[in-house]
Amino acid sequence: MSYGTADSLRPVTLDDVRGAQKMLTGVARATAMEGSRHLSQLVGSPVHLKCENLQRTGSFKLRGAYVRIAGLLPEERAAGVVAASAGNHAQGVALASSLLGVHATVFMPNGAPLPKISATREYGAEVRLHGQVVDETLAAAEEYAAETGAVFIHPFDHPDIIAGQGTVGLEILDQCPEVGTIVVGVGGGGLAAGIAVAVKAIRPDVRIVGVQAAGAAAYPPSLAAGHPVTVRHPATMADGIRVGRPGDVPFAIVRDLVDEVRTVGEDQLSAALLLCLERAKLVVEPAGASPVAALLAEPGVFPGPVVAVLSGGNVDPVLMQRVLRHGMAAQGRYLAVRLRLTDRPGALATLLGVLSVVDANVLDVSHVRTDPRLGLAEAEVELHLETKGPAHCVEVGHALREAGYTVID
């Protein structure tokens, strides 16, 4: 049935999730579960990474999209489907529609990562850019559905979507039967709700923790109010969970079955993405790294064994570069410093010699000579340095001051 009918408000059960798992056989991969020695040592118990970043289309979204579209009546399929997404749901709907022979129109926000736009088109969907955040894009897609008769495939607010996402939970129980805590990123709440339905029905003792980006955290105020609350202008690098309002269907499930929803900051997200890349050799987008960010932020509060769901790996290379640099800075491994020096031949070489002695790797140099703040014989230099950690940053600053340079904070 199409979105907006009574069918969209029916409860989601374990049988629904098991039915979705059968439907997804041969369509969605049973993704790998990888252990993390570093996180295990940090948390004090085994930590496993559920690699939905290695799913077809690069995220878990294919699961729910396929189940939803496969359940449409023939006349509904003939009318086509429409969806709205920052990228991962878009790709899931595009591939699912292609596999099922259904025409798909996908609305994406202006500024959506170019790789996600390109991939959605390559899977066969018609892409239309509209709005700045997912909520605005959702409104445009719903309007299109009303005008054309296309079936609206909501990214998280439908029982079929939630049942499909819940198959991740069944796989976790199969791959890690002794799991104590599952940590999962939360945007609209479809994935967390689906996992909760599946896991709590079989293992009610398992603790399920949702994670939101602090700048787009609609669930904490919604849970406090007892109903979905809209957060205006959600802002985070984690576009996959940048949702301003929980879905009605997943909210009720998260409220009843998810034990806790935590928030993480941008520094923690970038540090988590960097850790996934360096330690686990996994490319993960910021939203997918949010469970790891929660583990890094407060490792001692998660009863083990812990499974962290890496929900997606579709990240714009330009954003990846920025986030990695941000993560290095947050860990004290990247230092930007401005200083003044006498503008004479060899002055820059002398400065670089000081940095060489303290083993700071120079990544970039910006040299300014014409500025009203500078004296006649002065120049300002901005250096981007790769360092070895906070202590090394302090050592670099001390060495520069000892050499007589004026460091500008």
Supply the residues annotated as catalytic. 61, 311
* Burial state string for 195-221 with b = 16 or more CB within 10 A and e = fewer than 16: bbbbbbbebeebbbbbbbbebbbbbbe
Nearest to 14 by CA among 204, 192, 194: 194
Residue 56 and residue 62 in contact, taking contact as beta carbons nearer than 8 Å? yes
Q: Which position has the token pair 């996402």?
A: 165
Contacting residues for 28 by C-beta, under 8 A, at least 6 apart:
55, 56, 62, 63, 66, 167
Rounded to 5 degrees, what are φ and ψ at 304? Answer: -100, 175
Q: What type of residue sits at position 379?
A: A
| Largest interatomic CA distance in the chain | 79
> Any alpha helices (H) in 101-175, and if so which ranges?
114-122, 134-148, 159-175
SS3 assignment, position 160: helix
Residues in the chain: 409
Q: What is the DSSP string of 45-73?
A: S-EEEEEGGGSGGGBTHHHHHHHHHHTS-
